[in-house]
Structures are given as structure tokens and as C-alpha cells.
Amino acid sequence: MSDRPTERIHTRIWREEPEADNPFAARAAYCHGYDVYGEMVGRARWVDMLYLLLRGEAPTPAQADLLEALAVGLANPGPRDQSVHAAMSGGVGGSTAAASLMAALAVGAGRYCGAREVFDAMTVWAACGDDVAAWAGRIARFDAGPVDIWPDAEHPPGFDPYGVSTATIVRQLLTRLARIAQTPRLAWLAAQRPGIEAEVGLPLAFTGVAAAAFADLGFSPGEGEMLFLLLRLPGAAAHALEQQGYGFKRFPFYPVELVESGAREET
């Protein structure tokens, strides 16, 4: 046996019991105390597992309903969305499956329609505490803080900087989710939306609905950011595979206009 010091991974999420004949194979696996293969598989919903992994407790039926409804609403941003466009750009050239999903994650991570926008909106929800009505004012004055790896926020998070009125599908998602129990932020957004949009100066976007839903589910901004990335991947996967089938001749290769060069971009 080696006398090297043992390096260990610490976790509050997962416990495995080794097989008697092999310490690298598990005879049982527990997620926050629940026997995953002995009891959860076949009984738990996918969203139960998602919620349990991140929050450490099983969701209430209403929480599971909300997460599942939101997951359906977020599953496919559609081929106009830049994260899906990125995945399709992977698929059409025959890039690996992982590369297509990594492309969707990278592009869908940002402050325009992306997971960082959800994170930003959720930090404002977190700062508001129980004072739900303070959210709109704080969002309108949102300050992303000191320079870091993310570009500066160019619009109030959770709202559509190019919107004229609230997109019907955004309203439909908000209305449907707000009908589910235990959704104080969603219910307030649904009830007060016109006034909130007037205060912010822009119509609500999917990111705003998702941020309110994640906050109502008790997720932290970091957890909401992760879930937003995760829950939009199914559409990226499907569209990447579809474009692989169509082939590059049916995928846009836009005309180019070369404008005056040599100017130095100040970024």
C-alpha cells in the first residue's frame, strides 16, 4: 500500500457505498440522503432530481410543477436565438456533439438573452428580499459593478432592449407559470407587468420570467444561471443535429460588406 497522503473530495450532495470487491464501483448511491437507484429511479421526476441536487431537499408538488413548466418553456429558444444558431453552426459542419453544446453554452451564457442576464436579474431579486415591489426600480437602475470578465450590462436585465411590446409567448409563459402556487414574484410580475415595463422602459423578456421563476423556487442567482444554461440545451441539441442532416448548402453563409478598415476598435 502507498503511504502517500490521501487527497479527498468533500461533498454534501452525493454518497456512494463501494462494492465489497472494488472500491471504484458503487453498490449504492445517495443524493442528499435519498437512495437514487434503490428508491428514486422510477418514482422521482427529472425535475425532482434537478431541484434536489441544487437545493438539497425534494421540491413540493407545486415547486416541481413550476420547474417542469419552466423547463418546457425554456427547452428550445428556437433557431433565431444566438445560442441555438451557435449550436447549429457546430452541427452543420459536423463538429462534435459536445462542441455544439459548448457553443450553445458559450453564446447563451451572456448578458443579452443569456444566463448572465438571468443571474443579474436574480441578484436584484435577492437584494429586494420580501420587498417584491422594489424590483422594477432597482432593475431600471441596474449597475453590474466593477469591470470583470463579463461585458458591461447594456440594458436592464430581464427586459428586451429591442422590444416594442411584450412578446405574446413571453406573456403566455408568465401567465401560465404565475397560476402555479407559491409564486409571489411571478404573480406580482403578471399582475403589475404594464406598470413595471413603463417604469423600466422596455418590455419583459424570457430572461425576466425565468429569473422570477427561479427566485420563487428559492434558487440563488448562481443556481438560476446554471439551470438556465442547462434547460435550454435540448433545443440546441435538436437543431444542431437537424442542421447536420440538412447540410451546409442549406445553411446561411451571409453576404459580406467590407467597410473601411484600419480603425482601432476601443473595447
Partner 1 sequence: MKGPEVLRSHAGVLRTRVGACWPGSHAIFRGHDLHGELGAMDWLELYVFGITGRRYSDQEIRLLHGIWVMTSYPDARLWNNRVGAMAGSARSSAVLGLSAAIAVTEARIYGGGPGVRAIDFFLRAGKAVKAGGDLGAFVRAELASRRIYGYGRPINTIDERLPSLIPLAVSLGFDKGRHYEMAFEVERILLKESKPFLRMNFAALTAALAADLGFSPRQYQLFNILKTLAGIPPCIVEAQCLPEGALFPTPCDEIVYEGLGARSWVR
Q: Find cell 434558487 and name the residue.
A: 219
Q: Does 40 bind partner 1 (CB under 8 A)?
A: yes
Residue 40: CB minimum distance to partner 1, A: 5
Interhelix angle 184-200/206-216, rounded to 10 degrees, is 150
User: Is 148 one of the binding residues for partner 1 (CB under 8 A)?
Assistant: yes
User: Does 258 sit near partner 1 (CB under 8 A)?
Assistant: yes
Stretch of 94-102, 111-119, 211-219, 242-250 contacting partner 1, by CB under 8 A: 94-102
Q: Does 37 bind partner 1 (CB under 8 A)?
A: no
Which window, 65-73, 117-125, 133-141, 258-266, contacts partner 1 (CB under 8 A)?
258-266
10 Å Cβ neighbour count for 245? 9
Cβ distance to partner 1 smaller for residue 16 or 242: 16
Q: In this chain, which of 24, 130, 143, 250 binds partner 1, going by CB under 8 A?
A: 24
CB 35 within 8 A of CB 28: yes
Distance of closest approach, residue 42 Cβ to partner 1, in angstroms: 10
Buried b (16+ CB within 10 A) or exposed e, 194-213: eebbeebebbbbbbbbbbbb
**Cell 435540448, residue?**
234
Q: Rounded to whole angstroms, how far apart are CA atoms 118 and 227?
A: 10
- Chosen residue from 21, 143, 149, 250 binding partner 1 by CB under 8 A: 149
DSSP code of 30?
Answer: E
Q: Give me the least distance between CB of 112 and partner 1, in Å please.
A: 11
Q: Is the CB of residue 66 less than 8 Å from the CB of residue 55?
A: no
Give the chain's end-to-end CA distance (angstroms, integer). 56
**Looking at the DSSP assignment, which residues form a beta bridge with residue 17?**
28
Applying CB under 8 A, among 15, 53, 172, 184 the residue interacting with partner 1 is: 15
Whole-angstrom distance, CA of residue 51 vs CA of residue 37: 17
Out of 96, 137, 184, 246, point to the residue binding partner 1 (CB under 8 A).
96
Q: Alpha-carbon distance 46 to 210, whole Å?
A: 18
Please report how close the Cβ of residue 196 comes to partner 1 at its closest, in angstroms: 19
Q: What are phi and psi of 215, to 5 degrees?
A: -65, -40
* Residue 66 C-beta: closest distance to partner 1, Å: 20
* Residues from 98 through 127 that contact partner 1 (CB under 8 A): 98-99, 102, 106
- Crossing angle of the two packed helices 184-200 and 168-178, in degrees rounded to 10: 150
Q: Is 242 in the site for partner 1 (CB under 8 A)?
A: no
21 binds partner 1 (CB under 8 A): no
By CB under 8 A, residue 61 contacts partner 1: no
Site for partner 1, rule CB under 8 A: 6-18, 23-24, 26, 30, 32-35, 39-40, 43-44, 56, 58, 96, 98-99, 102, 106, 146-149, 151, 162-164, 254-267
